[in-house]
Amino acid sequence: MEYDIVIVGAGVMGAATAFYLSKYGKKILLLDQFRVKNTLNSSQDYSRVFRYEYGDDEFYTNLAVESLKLWKEFERETGRQFYFQCGELLIAESKENYALKCYKTLKKLDHPVDLLDEKDLKKRFPQFSAKLGVLDHHGGVLEASSVVESFVERAKKNGVLILENAKVIRIENDTVFLDGKNIKFKKLVVTCGVWTSKLIDVPITITKQQLVYFKPKNIQNFTKDKFPLFGYLDKGFYGFPIHGIDAVKVSNHLPGKVVDPDEDDRKVSEDFIESCKSFFRKFIPDLADTEVVKTKVCFYSMTSDEDFIIDKLNDRVIIGAGFSGHGFKFAPLIGKILSDLAISGETQYDISRFRMNRF
């Protein structure tokens, strides 16, 4: 069996790549070691953050602008909503922090952003208690699992073959080896998330990230029309308004313990739950004594500089990896870039920061 292009890994990056490649009329196979809908990869959940703000890193803000155009294009094409704009509020205790950098950069690039002092903040978002707030108007919730499903559905409709429960054991020249089966390819795209370095030598570290879902007593105060995405990124905490589950989802963006994704017990610790509660006591008091209704562990695949790895490894193999806990919002753009690299070896987008040779 030979395919023009084989994509290994059907998380959001592989799924988006399959969707963009499906427009070229090539013979394409997308395969995954699990079912597309699984609980183990990094792309499946009710929600992911979309935001324009990236501190003073204009490169990623500009990338987010490009990506939002593609999210909207995908929404038009499918007739479904994946991006729910509700704003992202960065809170802080002092003026010397990440939130203020975001404010200055978004202002400079002429994107809508508000700087709120303690009084304004209390008036606009009474749920929060902080000295300072910065509201990125483009912040929004991405409906993560539906996105992956829809990319795959569309790709399938356009003729891409989907093979589930198909684990690639090794890659050699023009062949991927599965248990009892070999598949030949002209081009290969590897989007294996936290498992990438089990197949290809890439400098990524896997860290354990914990998520907790708290059910507020007054749910109506935490819906997207009243309560934005929030982050205190100097301390790492961030969270979501209610979306897909009657709970506020909270996590910490600071990289957790280094693990092997196949060996970790995937349990959320009591200490982590307590750290969320103590964050709430200070900054979102109404959430401090609420019930935990769900917990989840998910893994980041971190590069040393937190920039992605998007590159050709050789004439046949293309890689998309190391998304360092902030890749989801760029998924359509990354899918498009990986499909460009598979089709023509080049892309119109600037991927100089994502090349392998920087390591």
Applying CB under 6 A, the residues found at the interface with ligand FAD are 8-14, 31-34, 41-43, 48-49, 167-168, 191-195, 199, 209, 211, 251, 298-300, 323, 325-329
The neighbour count for residue 201, using CB atoms within 10 Å, is: 7
Q: Which is nearer to ligand FAD, 150 or 191 (CB)?
A: 191
Q: Smallest distance, Å, CB 43 to ligand FAD? A: 3
Q: Smallest distance, Å, CB 144 to ligand FAD? A: 7
Distance CA 319, CA 169 (A): 17
Asked if residue 113 lies in contact with residue 107, where contact means CB atoms within 8 angstroms, the answer is yes
Distance CA 230, CA 86 (A): 10
Q: Which residue has the tokens 């963006």?
A: 253
Q: Smallest distance, Å, CB 31 to ligand FAD? A: 6
Q: Smallest distance, Å, CB 191 to ligand FAD? A: 5
* C-beta nearest to ligand FAD: residue: 11
Asked if residue 189 lies in contact with residue 201, where contact means CB atoms within 8 angstroms, the answer is no
Asked if residue 191 lies in contact with residue 17, where contact means CB atoms within 8 angstroms, the answer is yes
Q: Which is nearer to ligand FAD, 127 or 251 (CB)?
A: 251
Q: Which is nearer to ligand FAD, 280 or 300 (CB)?
A: 300
Helices 12-21 and 331-344, axial angle in degrees (round to 10): 50
SS3 label, residue 316: coil
Q: Which is nearer to ligand FAD, 136 or 285 (CB)?
A: 136
The residue ranges of DSSP E strands in the chain, in sequence order, are 2-8, 28-31, 48-50, 83-85, 88-92, 113-117, 132-136, 140-142, 161-163, 168-172, 175-178, 181-190, 205-215, 229-232, 237-239, 248-252, 291-302, 309-312, 317-321
Q: Smallest distance, Å, CB 51 to ligand FAD? A: 8
Tokens linked to 116: 């709120």
The neighbour count for residue 138, using CB atoms within 10 Å, is: 20
What DSSP letter does each residue of 62-90 carry, written as one string? HHHHHHHHHHHHHHHHHT---EEE--EEE
Of 272, 301, 276, nearest in space to 290 by CA: 276
Q: Smallest distance, Å, CB 58 to ligand FAD? A: 17
Q: Smallest distance, Å, CB 349 to ligand FAD? A: 17
Residue type, 343: I
Q: Smallest distance, Å, CB 201 to ligand FAD? A: 14
Distance CA 188, CA 307 (A): 22
Q: Smallest distance, Å, CB 165 to ligand FAD? A: 9
Q: What is the DSSP letter of 258?
A: B
